[in-house]
Structure 1
Amino acid sequence: MSRTIKPVLLLLATMLLALTAACGSSSGKEELTTVKFSEVIRSIFYAPHYVAMSQGFFKEQGLNVDMNTAQGSDKGAAALIAGTADVSMVGPETTIYIYNQKGDKTLKVFHQLTAKDGSFLLSREKIENFAWSDLAGKTVIGWRPGSSPQMVLNSMLLKEQVSGVNVVTNIASTAMAGAFTSGQGDFIQVFEPIASTLVNEGKAYYVTSLGEDFGAYPETSYVATSDYIKAHPDVLKKFTAAVAEGAKWLNTASDDEIAKALRPFFEGTPDDLILQSVNRYKAQGTWPTDPELTQDQFDILQNVLVENGVLKAEDKVTKMDDIVDMSFVRQLGKSD
């Protein structure tokens, strides 16, 4: 090899090493932190979260969300305790249950995703001018005992003084629609997009919104263990920012953009039903502009738990901060 070629090769090798090092440094900056995430069920009720995933808001925050569906708040809470989930989207009542068990771990709400119940009541027969008294003597396919939609429905029946309603609570959430279409029950309580799908297919009639009729209720929260919050405050700050951006985006995006963003999470659901579902949730004020769990909301939650017999009055959590940490929400919009 000539003496002229050797310096050239050496120069090229040096440049290649430098380029490799630079690329390695750059990729290091783009490396994402994985968050093991458990959602309670799959529903457009949680649209801001799916938007944050599809629009890259989590990625912009340096996070990779590894999502699975628990099919129940109890299972989502169990995943946190077992360490198979870092963050769970569950009913905030789970934090109260775990706290009162006085175990080794406690859970804390760090972001309030929804401000209303997300279920809708459908009927087998068309009903004009529905009144809650129409449920007397009828069978409703509902949710498991102690779940938020089950307690909201029961509280509505108590409020309206309706008795003699047979609420079926032992059918798995994934089998409820099938049970209804096969002939079981006079009514069914479901979330979107299942509600719109059943109505659109002519298998049920829309009756009313539990969210609108019941009013304010903190149904779904993001929850993590106290230990995880202490160890990873930077992760939860970014997580909160991404979800908040998702909720904000939903209020300004076009119909085409919304359908495209949610379509991957609801395969087989037509775009018009996705949009109908989103608009129903928007209309009832499902997604608060300020995702903070307030003392008033917390009081409503505990009163519902007591009313439904899943919490004794003397076991109410008197200090909300023991199971709620809104510090990340309060940092939204503030510069570092």
Structure 2
Amino acid sequence: MRKSKAALSVIAAMLLFFAAACGGGGGNNTPPSPSPSPSGSAPPAASADPSPSETSKEKVTVKFSEVIRSIFYAPHYIAMSKGFFEEEGLIVDMTTAQGSDKGAAALIAGTADISLVGPETAIYIYNQKGDKTLKIFHQLTMKDGSFLLSREKTDAFDWKDLSGKTVLGWRPGSAPQMVMNSTLIQEGVTDAAVVTNIASPALAGAFTSGQGDYIQLFEPVASTLVQEGKAHYVASLGEAFGDFPETSYVATSDYIAEHPDVIQSFVNAVAKGTAWLGTASDDEIAEALSPFFEGTSKELIIQSIHRYKDQGTWPEKPELTAEAFEKLQGVLIENGVLKAEEKIADMNAVVDMSFVQKIGGAE
């Protein structure tokens, strides 16, 4: 155990050098919420009674590490609360890593089987030329999950409004920070002062105490500040920047080769969660997600879901395409966290979409 923890610390330190993160950029300032149960399995009331065939089949426990706790990853929590993982013969033992670097380190150290992280971590690990490589096998989100809020109400926002203003943003090298920076470049804004040295849990508090003219937040914190009258919604980074592969399910190449059935079952379960999310009522969605977000009102859960649905966060086919992979590497190079000569020419070195192609038994 001591050796495992030591290895985990060393690998995490190496990955921190690259400042790689996804979704909430290594942390979301949503209030921390425990898993519904110690094992991360679905709440009993939310699961249907298993059939005799399901109870007789021995289930496989998967050690799963989520990057942060965020409604941005709703399909995964739906798959847990509605029993879709159990239908596929899996028990998900979930922990929260608080960062893509830590989630990737857990995979390398063997303390996690599958991690939900930024796909850039697989690129970094590959370029280190170590003993293990990571492979992306399911693309959960295809938009950035942060939103821009203003202190003063703005009737017709334009990105040029950020000129000469201060924006409270995310740490250097995190996905939301890179998306913000690339969006400013895209919009021709060169003189916005983006603050990147405030810890993510302290961002909202810093803004409400008077710091900054604008702030970049994830849901449901963004909607919370708006509801309290402390900020005004002005833009979606996901809509402004367009498609971007922000969060992926990743495992080591060895684990995928040794447990293809587990990976396929995992992919099938999350796909069921995404499909259910697209057809369920607001009340049903809020009920399914509430155990994962204790202290967050039903109203704000629904508000958050609608914001993410409206910007097309969750693709119907969770595939990391060659085009999206190219955009990912372009953003990494543009933001100085990947050298042009380190760009991976063949995405198959770190991507395996064969399981996505077989969702639901399809060939």
* TM-score normalised per structure 1: 0.89
Q: How does 1:230-241 map to 2 (within 5 A)?
A: 230-241=257-268
Q: Which residue does 2:284 correspond to in 1? A: 257
**CA distance in structure 1 between the partners assigned to 2:74 and 2:128 by the alignment:** 32
Aligned residue for 2:291, secondary structure, equals helix
Cα distance change on mapping 1:129 and 1:232 into 2, 3 Å: same
For the pair 1:110 / 2:137, whether they are aligned, the reply is yes
Aligned length: 312
Query: Which residue type is aligned with residue 137 of structure 1?
Result: G
Q: Which residue does 1:189 correspond to in 2? A: 216
For the pair 1:245 / 2:272, whether they are aligned, the reply is yes
For the pair 1:64 / 2:113, whether they are aligned, the reply is no
| 1:74 aligns with one of 94, 101, 109 | 101
Percent of paired sites with the same residue:
72
For the pair 1:99 / 2:126, whether they are aligned, the reply is yes
Does structure 2 conserve the Cα–Cα contact (< 8 Å) formed by 1:92 and 1:221? yes
Does structure 2 conserve the Cα–Cα contact (< 8 Å) formed by 1:115 and 1:288? yes
* TM-score normalised per structure 2: 0.83
Aligned residue for 1:317, secondary structure, equals coil
**CA distance in structure 2 between the partners assigned to 1:178 and 1:53 by the alignment:** 32
Does structure 2 conserve the Cα–Cα contact (< 8 Å) formed by 1:108 and 1:323? yes
Q: Which residue does 1:318 correspond to in 2? A: 345
Query: Which residue type is aligned with residue 307 of structure 1?
Result: E
Query: Which residue type is aligned with residue 91 of structure 2?
Result: N
Query: Which residue type is aligned with residue 359 of structure 2?
Result: L
Q: Deviations over 1:175-210 (max 9, x none)?
A: 222222222222111111111111111111101000
**CA distance in structure 2 between the partners assigned to 1:328 and 1:300 by the alignment:** 22
| 1:137 aligns with one of 164, 169, 174 | 164
Q: Deviations over 1:138-160 (max 9, x none)?
A: 22121121111111000001111
Q: Which residue does 2:65 correspond to in 1? A: 38
Deviation at 1:39? Answer: 1.1
Cα distance change on mapping 1:146 and 1:130 into 2, 3 Å: same
Query: Which residue type is aligned with residue 323 of structure 1?
Result: V
Aligned residue for 1:140, secondary structure, equals strand
Of residues 172-181 and 225-234 in structure 1, the stretch that sits farther from structure 2 once superposed is 172-181
For the pair 1:121 / 2:148, whether they are aligned, the reply is yes
Q: Which residue does 2:3 correspond to in 1? A: none
Does structure 2 conserve the Cα–Cα contact (< 8 Å) formed by 1:52 and 1:245? yes
Q: CA RMSD in A?
A: 1.6
Does structure 1 conserve the Cα–Cα contact (< 8 Å) formed by 2:54 and 2:89? no
Structure 2 unmatched ranges of 5 or more: 1-51
| 2:117 aligns with one of 79, 90, 98 | 90
**CA distance in structure 1 between the partners assigned to 2:138 and 2:312 by the alignment:** 17
**CA distance in structure 2 between the partners assigned to 1:90 and 1:148 by the alignment:** 10
Does structure 2 conserve the Cα–Cα contact (< 8 Å) formed by 1:112 and 1:293? yes
Structure 1 unmatched ranges of 5 or more: 1-24
Q: Which residue does 1:15 correspond to in 2? A: none
**CA distance in structure 2 between the partners assigned to 1:81 and 1:169 by the alignment:** 28
Does structure 2 conserve the Cα–Cα contact (< 8 Å) formed by 1:43 and 1:192? yes
Q: Which residue does 2:324 correspond to in 1? A: 297
Q: Which residue does 1:13 correspond to in 2? A: none
Query: Which residue type is aligned with residue 149 of structure 1?
Result: P
Aligned residue for 1:332, secondary structure, equals helix
Cα distance change on mapping 1:29 and 1:175 into 2, 3 Å: farther
Deviation at 1:26? Answer: 8.2
Q: Which residue does 2:17 correspond to in 1? A: none
**CA distance in structure 1 between the partners assigned to 2:246 and 2:142 by the alignment:** 6
**CA distance in structure 1 between the partners assigned to 2:301 and 2:67 by the alignment:** 19
**CA distance in structure 1 between the partners assigned to 2:183 and 2:324 by the alignment:** 17
Query: Which residue type is aligned with residue 223 of structure 1?
Result: V
Deviation at 1:251? Answer: 0.8
**CA distance in structure 2 between the partners assigned to 1:144 and 1:283 by the alignment:** 26
Query: Which residue type is aligned with residue 266 of structure 2?
Result: F
For the pair 1:308 / 2:351, whether they are aligned, the reply is no
Aligned residue for 2:355, secondary structure, equals helix
Q: Which residue does 2:19 correspond to in 1? A: none
Does structure 2 conserve the Cα–Cα contact (< 8 Å) formed by 1:73 and 1:147? no
Aligned residue for 1:202, secondary structure, equals coil
Of residues 326-335 and 244-253 in structure 1, the stretch that sits farther from structure 2 once superposed is 326-335
Aligned residue for 1:104, secondary structure, equals coil
Deviation at 1:30? Answer: 4.1
Query: Which residue type is aligned with residue 255 of structure 2?
Result: Y
